[in-house]
Amino acid sequence: MIRFFKIIIAIIFILVNKITYSQEQDRNAVKVLSRFNGEEVKLRWAVTSPSAWLKANKFGYIIERVTLKKDGVRVVNPETKKLTDVPVLPLPLTEWEQIATTNDYAAILAQALYGESFTVEGANNQDGLMQIINNAREVEQRFAFGLFAADMNFDAAVKAGLGYVDRDIVKGEEYLYRIKTQIPNEILDVDEGVTIIKINEIEKLPKPIDLNSVGQDKSILLSWEYELFKNLYVAYFVERSEDGSKFQRLNKEPLVNMNDRPDSKVKKMIYIDSIAQNDKKYQYRVIGVSSFGEESEPSETTAASGFKKLEAVPHIKTHKLTADGGAEIVWEFKKEAENEITSFELNSGPTVKGPFKILQKGIPVNKRNVSVKKLEPSNYFSISAIGKNNQKTTSLTAFVQTIDSIPPIPPVGLQASIDTTGVVNIAWAKNLENDLLGYRVFRANIEKEEYSQLTISPISIENFTDHVQLKSLNAKVFYKVVAVDKRYNMSDFSEVLVVKKPDIVPPASPVFSKYHIEDGKVTLNWIPSNSEDVAAHKLFRKSLNDNETDWELIFSATIEETYTDTSLKSNQRYRYAIFAEDESGLLSEPATPITLTAKGSKEIPKLIKRAAGIADRVNNKIDLSWTLADQVAELSIYKAKNEEKPVLLKQYTAKILVFEDSKVNPGNVYTYTFKALDNSGNTEFKKEVITY
């Protein structure tokens, strides 16, 4: 029975995981490496999955060589030579006895190929890590350990059917080697592997580079370049010397970096060496191991010493304010640990989490108190003990706060701009207090209402952007700003900043109230728009007999509510419309146009003989009734509540003589305007006011 060498558990556990991860990522394929040592070409290969490995061990591999160049000249018709007459297979178990008893890696590889069972040993706790490993699929363990062992010993790789030596070579030629499994495609499809090599000068293995060492307490941390040589070296040996000349190998088993994955690249190899004593210098070097089991020359050496870890920590004992407005900090520190440090440092920050800055450094090791002359509004102090070898221990923080009840002065110089989308930009002059924390901004939509705060917490800059609704009843918005110091003392309000909103809402429409036609003249009356910012009412006219298409402005009024049109032609029909225009030049919707006929001196007949309204407070309604002339064709009734704009309530033919308005509420004044229209286009208005 071939013995099974016990590998370092941590390395092998990572190795199994890496191989499994590779299985999930790659197709079944043969991967090949080649190396020329001056006399022969060594080939090393492996398949990318455990299942392919098991089947290839049964069916074997075929090796072909294609000559690409001779004496540096490309061959026109490349020569292909079959190097193996029969498939390359692992040697039988009887051929392994001698090498397995003299080489641990050969023993591992033989056990992976022929062992009755394959379990990892080396830990007593079967409930943790080892239980996870021992429960892994055995074929994956065999595959992982076998490939690792083949990398460590080329002779064992050859016996396992994973290596080959080609000695029938010619200097100056260039070869392509092709290795493919003999597994039938219907069983498993495995891509062939190829490699190209030139038969000229020997390519020397490079030394590992960038070896660095950092001393710690009873240990040395080593690191060196990994990424640059990761396709060349599969493992490393670390060597240590105490005199600089005689080196001893620290790791019996090779050091493998198995944390490098496609989704997590590793750039450095790390190794921690435990040392027997501090303050003694040790020299280190590393040696790379290739997939052919070759070792590189040692790297350049590095040296480091361990040092005792600084464990003593300062403790702030007392802290108090002084009469000059400063503070005194007193701390404790072990007297016997003074020889382990070089000085103390006093640190300060605005919050318990910092950021901290050094206020005083180089404080003697035998001193236990310092004075601070100038304090911030809030101070978090800590004491650091500065040890040798850049070590440092730091105390917990102590909070020291000055007494301050004086608020900042109110902000001044407020100014603002507002655009047509409602964005308000407010700015003010900067407060000069040293302990200023920031500002709070307040807004009101009506001058006399209570202001609401817009800022959740104090802002540190002297400007603020707000957004207001433009289509609302208030034409202005009002702002105030207060300053807040670091003790959260608040200043008085600033002066009120009044911001006028851009006018994008047109005024309410005016309404024609009545007209009178006499002697070729038309007198028009209207109810003005009730909007506050109305600048003028504009009256337009259009003749219907002359086929005119354009309206003509005939009158613009500021406070007038009537106009007499004298420039009319007898017996011609005219249409009138009136608009309200506000201070921003926005026009209202037109009032309902009226059409009239100028009939010389003929008196227009009276169309509305009677119109009345009675408030019925018992049944909560207003009863309207009217009497019309026979020639009336249509009656329109407009309703206005208090000072609001009149709106069309009902429109009837002349046959309807009464209407009940139930949409009324006590305490309001309702104005009803009756508009009668006859068949000739004549119109008459009558107004009835009801206090309900």
Q: Note the pLDDT of residue 50.
A: 92
Write the CA distances from 587 to 141, 398, 651, integer angstroms: 88, 69, 27
Instruction: Give every CB contact of residue 351 below 8 A, 6+ residues apart in sequence.
Output: 378, 380
Q: Where are the beta strands (DSSP E) in 337-451?
A: 341-349, 357-363, 369-372, 378-387, 392-394, 398-401, 415-418, 423-427, 436-444
pLDDT of residue 68: 94
222's CB contacts (< 8 A; 6+ apart) are 211, 212, 213, 238, 270, 271, 272, 273, 284, 286, 302
pLDDT, residue 601, reads 45
Q: How far, in Å, CA of 618 to CA of 625, rounded?
A: 18
Low-confidence stretches of the chain (pLDDT < 50) are 1-24, 122-129, 131-133, 135, 601
CA 486 to CA 406: how far, in whole Å? 11
Residues sharing a CB contact under 8 Å with residue 332, sequence separation 6 or more, in sequence order: 314, 315, 317, 368
Query: How do residues 289-321 score in pLDDT, each as one tens digit?
Result: 998 988 999 999 999 999 888 999 999 999 998
pLDDT value of position 5: 38
The residues that bridge with 46 in the sheet, in sequence order, are 31
State residue 10's pLDDT score: 32
Nearest-CA neighbor of 354 among 380, 386, 392, 384? Answer: 380
Helix 104-114 with 138-152: angle, nearest 10 deg = 150
Q: How far is CA 422 from CA 232, 468, 487, 503, in A?
A: 67, 5, 35, 11
pLDDT for res 134: 53
CA 355-356-362 angle, to 5 degrees, is 160
Residue range 418-439, pLDDT digits in tens? 998 889 999 999 999 888 999 9
Report the amino acid identity of residue 286.
Answer: V
- What pLDDT sits at residue 542? 87
Q: Which domains does the chain have, with CATH numbers?
A: 9-198 (2.60.40.10), 212-305 (2.60.40.10), 315-401 (2.60.40.10), 415-500 (2.60.40.10), 511-598 (2.60.40.10), 608-691 (2.60.40.10)
Residue 47 in contact with residue 29, Cβ under 8 Å? yes
Judge contact between 203 and 85, C-beta under 8 A: no
- In sign, the C-alpha dihedral spanning 238, 242, 243, 246 is negative
The CA–CA distances, whole Å, from 477 to 451, 480, 495, 503 equal 11, 11, 14, 13
Residue-level pLDDT at 592: 81
Closest CA to 657 of 687, 621, 682, 632: 632
Distances in whole angstroms, Cα of residue 469 to Cα of each of 414, 419, 451, 508, 560 = 21, 11, 17, 19, 33
Cα-only R_g, the chain: 51
The pLDDT, as a whole number, for residue 604 is 57
Q: How many angstroms separate the CA atoms of 349 and 382, rounded?
A: 9
Residue whose token pair is 């930009």: 425
Please give the Cα distance from 365 to 372 (Å, whole number): 18
- pTM, two decimals, is 0.50
Closest CA to 522 of 558, 562, 551: 562
